[in-house]
Amino acid sequence: MENKKLCLALFSGSVDKLTAAGVILGGAAAEDMDVDIFVLLQAAFAFKKENAMTNERVAEITDKKDEFLASLRQLEAPHWTEAFRTAKEMTNVKIHICGFAGKVWKGYKLDDFIDLADDICGIGEYMTCAEEADVNLFI
**Residue-level pLDDT at 1:** 67
**Buried/exposed 67-84: b ≥16 CB within 10 Å, e otherwise:** ebbeebeeeeeebbbebb
- Report, as ranges of residue numbers, the positions in the chain whose pLDDT lies below 50: none
**Residue-level pLDDT at 106:** 95
Report whether 83 contacts 35 (CB < 8 A): no
**Residue-level pLDDT at 60:** 75
Paired residues of 136 in beta bridges: 7
pTM, 2 dp:
0.92
Report whether 68 contacts 58 (CB < 8 A): yes
Q: What is the DSSP string of the chain?
A: -PPPEEEEEE----HHHHHHHHHHHHHHHHTT-EEEEEE-HHHHHHHBTTTTT------SSGGGHHHHHHHHHHTTPPPHHHHHHHHHHHS-EEEEEEHHHHHHTT--SGGGB-TT--EEE-HHHHHHHHHH-SEEEE-
**Residue-level pLDDT at 64:** 84
Report whether 116 contacts 86 (CB < 8 A): no
For the chain, domains (ranges, CATH) are: 5-138 (3.40.1260.10)
- The CA dihedral of 88, 37, 63, 82, to the nearest 10 degrees, is 10
